[in-house]
Structure 1
Amino acid sequence: MKAILPVAGKGTRLRPHTHTKAKSLVRVAGKTVLEHIVERLQAIDVEEYIFITDENGQQIEEFMEKKFPGLRCSYYIQHERLGPAHAVALAGPSVNPGDDLLVVFNDTIFVTDLAAIKGLCSSADGLIYSKEVEDYQRFGVNVLSGDYIVDMVEKPDQPISRLAQVGLYYLKDGAGFINAIEETIAAGETVKGEYYLPSVFMRMIAAGHKFKAPEIDAWLDCGKPETLLETNRYLLKGRHHIHGDVKNCVLIEPVHVEAGAVITNSIIGPNVSVAAGSEIESSVISDSIINADNKVSHLILNHSLLGDAVSLIGSPRRMNIGDHSHIYMEQ
């Protein structure tokens, strides 16, 4: 099996955190999004990891060489923003007849048993992983007849289906899938000037291919600051790890402190991850992600996301307040 990971894209919804780094290198629960994804792929036998990058591709290469030096990786640059299907098609030179493919988009950390792929796909040509959602109007959804997908509807007005596509796909015939994308591009089947995978899958379904829509256990969105914090909370459940230097602190589980972080005289947690090199003193922090090499002092932070090398210094207050006073200190 080969895995295609499209990691191009500006990550505009995560700005300013993606001004200087690829969006897949944003951290959550002590690891980058990409690290979470690649670790999940270790459950299956992936022969080659094929990355579709943009001008930040060197960052991805350096990260993979450092964190996963034993993995075979290939890199292709998407110079034109022509959509996700176009990005996947760029992997074509690495896909040979007989290859099966797993396509993983990097806005999402998934929780599912990838080892079950072969069994799930025994009577189908591919899997389009899904998750039942209440706000189906925000997503492209799979419409089923029995076990198989018969239609895909983008942001339906009516609840024709609540099975949202989550950006995780398995194809038995990888070369045939790449050919179908190329046919879709040749036919000019775009939405607002970009090529999307639902058009490719509907072309394949019309040609007689069968796709199932297995549900994943959890769909963890990392595309926006608020959803990144939600994912941080989910991934920290049951993970109270203190590897750094923590002195005279109250820790409210779960908290993840990396080796090389220093925290003194503070209240930390719940749901806080602190990266290496950060120093926190005399602060109260909850539901937050504190990235590498930060300096935080005399502050109260909640639902906060700090990038790398941030210096955030407050100051203690001195007060002389009489009886029966009402003090409101707005942030």
Structure 2
Amino acid sequence: MKAVILAAGRGTRLRPLTEDKPKGMVEVAGKPILTHCFEQLAALDADEFVVVVGYRKQDIIEHYDDEFRDIPITYAHQREQKGLAHALLTVEDHIDDDFMLMLGDNIFDANLGDVVNRQQEDRADAAFLTEEVPYEEADRYGVCDTNDYGEITDVVEKPEDPPSNLVMTGFYTFTPAIFHACHLVQPSNRGEYEISEAIDLLIQSGRTIDAIRMDGWRVDVGYPEDRDRAERLLEGDGEPDAEGSEATAESD
């Protein structure tokens, strides 16, 4: 599969770490967040990286050029940060088959391969990694509801009254059907084109979407303290179930 990485955000919550670099170039345990993403996706046999860039895009392009460990890199430019569905549409012309999607500010030590295997073996229209969080924190995320078969029946972005405590993480697989759904998305109350809305449109059209429960940990590097926590986990000096940060939007 090709792997799409969203890395156009400004990283305003990560300041001062992002005062002179884009969020994806902030170092965690001695290397940029994007390098961690590329390594994880390479281990899943990605055959091409399609990277969505925006803020300080040249820093990313000059650092990685056109390949990473012999895997070619294609860049797509998101001129305005208007949400994840908007970012995803910038790569539509580069994708013609099932693909992986990773948010470029997440670091995982988890069962990502289970998501890819489910997509390939069951021919689902989408599959993604989910995790359970305390109910009082679920309203910070895209919240999922599932049926008895583990299929997602509803996705709500940052709901006031969450239907569950099962939330989306930053790793997905999709068929190209997601692009049609993204074209239909209307701006949310935040003024952004939410990927959760595109996923919900897929569900309403009768598509099958599987939820894979996370085994391991992930850190959404949204704040400086998240960078520090990710470093401790990578170095084996932290607790995987420690409280994480609020999920961040691509416009950040």
Classify 1:118/1:128 alpha carbon distance in 2 versus 1 (closer, same or farther; 3 Å). Answer: closer
Give, in whole Å, the separation in 2 of the partners of 1:118 and 1:101. Answer: 9
Query: Aligned-pair distance for 1:179?
Result: 1.9
Classify 1:210/1:67 alpha carbon distance in 2 versus 1 (closer, same or farther; 3 Å). Answer: closer
Residue 224 of structure 1: aligned partner: 223
Classify 1:166/1:114 alpha carbon distance in 2 versus 1 (closer, same or farther; 3 Å). Answer: closer
Query: Aligned-pair distance for 1:80?
Result: 1.6
Give, in whole Å, the separation in 1 of the partners of 2:224 and 2:203. Answer: 36
Deviation track 1:102-141 (CA, whole Å, cap 9, x = no partner) reads 1111221122233333542333321121111112232221
Give, in whole Å, the separation in 1 of the partners of 2:199 and 2:220. Answer: 23
Deviation track 1:174-206 (CA, whole Å, cap 9, x = no partner) reads 2x221221232xxx3433221010110111111
Give, in whole Å, the separation in 2 of the partners of 1:164 and 1:132. Answer: 6
Residue 177 of structure 1: aligned partner: 178
Give, in whole Å, the separation in 1 of the partners of 2:195 and 2:71. Answer: 27
Residue 156 of structure 2: aligned partner: 153
Residue 234 of structure 1: aligned partner: 233
Residue 138 of structure 2: aligned partner: 136
Give, in whole Å, the separation in 2 of the partners of 1:66 and 1:95. Answer: 17
Query: Aligned-pair distance for 1:49?
Result: 0.7
Classify 1:119/1:233 alpha carbon distance in 2 versus 1 (closer, same or farther; 3 Å). Answer: same
Give, in whole Å, the separation in 1 of the partners of 2:155 and 2:233. Answer: 29
Classify 1:192/1:155 alpha carbon distance in 2 versus 1 (closer, same or farther; 3 Å). Answer: closer
Q: Which structure would you say has the larger Rg?
A: 1
The percentage of counterpart residues that share the same residue type is: 32
Give, in whole Å, the separation in 1 of the partners of 2:8 and 2:225. Answer: 21
User: Is residue 167 from structure 1 mapped to residue 173 from structure 2 by the alignment?
Assistant: no
Residue 211 of structure 1: aligned partner: 209
Give, in whole Å, the separation in 2 of the partners of 1:67 and 1:180. Answer: 30
Q: Tell me, yes or no, if the aligned pair for 2:82 and 2:192 is still in contact at 8 Å.
A: yes
Query: Aligned-pair distance for 1:159?
Result: 5.2
Deviation track 1:251-297 (CA, whole Å, cap 9, x = no partner) reads xxx6xxxxxxxxxxxxxxxx8xxxxxxxxxxxxxxxxxxxxxxxxxx
Q: Tell me, yes or no, if the aligned pair for 1:48 and 1:72 is still in contact at 8 Å.
A: yes
Residue 24 of structure 2: aligned partner: 24
Q: Tell me, yes or no, if the aligned pair for 1:128 and 1:169 is still in contact at 8 Å.
A: yes
AA matched with 1:65? D
Residue 257 of structure 1: aligned partner: none
Give, in whole Å, the separation in 2 of the partners of 1:220 and 1:55. Answer: 22
Q: Secondary structure at the match of 1:231?
A: helix
Residue 242 of structure 2: aligned partner: none
Residue 102 of structure 1: aligned partner: 100
AA matched with 1:177? I
Give, in whole Å, the separation in 1 of the partners of 2:25 and 2:39. Answer: 14
Give, in whole Å, the separation in 1 of the partners of 2:98 and 2:20. Answer: 34
Residue 241 of structure 2: aligned partner: none
Residue 290 of structure 1: aligned partner: none
Residue 264 of structure 1: aligned partner: none
Aligned pair count reads: 232
Classify 1:235/1:69 alpha carbon distance in 2 versus 1 (closer, same or farther; 3 Å). Answer: closer
Q: Tell me, yes or no, if the aligned pair for 1:131 and 1:219 is still in contact at 8 Å.
A: no
Query: Aligned-pair distance for 1:208?
Result: 0.6
Give, in whole Å, the separation in 1 of the partners of 2:169 and 2:116. Answer: 19
5+ residue gaps, structure 1, are 238-253, 255-270, 272-331
Give, in whole Å, the separation in 2 of the partners of 1:118 and 1:65. Answer: 27
Give, in whole Å, the separation in 2 of the partners of 1:191 and 1:101. Answer: 29
Classify 1:229/1:211 alpha carbon distance in 2 versus 1 (closer, same or farther; 3 Å). Answer: same
Q: TM-score, normalised by structure 1?
A: 0.66
5+ residue gaps, structure 2, are 239-252
Q: Tell me, yes or no, if the aligned pair for 2:110 and 2:218 is still in contact at 8 Å.
A: no
Give, in whole Å, the separation in 2 of the partners of 1:234 and 1:77. Answer: 32
Classify 1:77/1:159 alpha carbon distance in 2 versus 1 (closer, same or farther; 3 Å). Answer: closer
**As a proportion of its length, which structure holds more helix?**
2
Q: Secondary structure at the match of 1:143?
A: strand
Q: Secondary structure at the match of 1:50?
A: strand
Query: Aligned-pair distance for 1:230?
Result: 1.0
Give, in whole Å, the separation in 1 of the partners of 2:163 and 2:55. Answer: 39
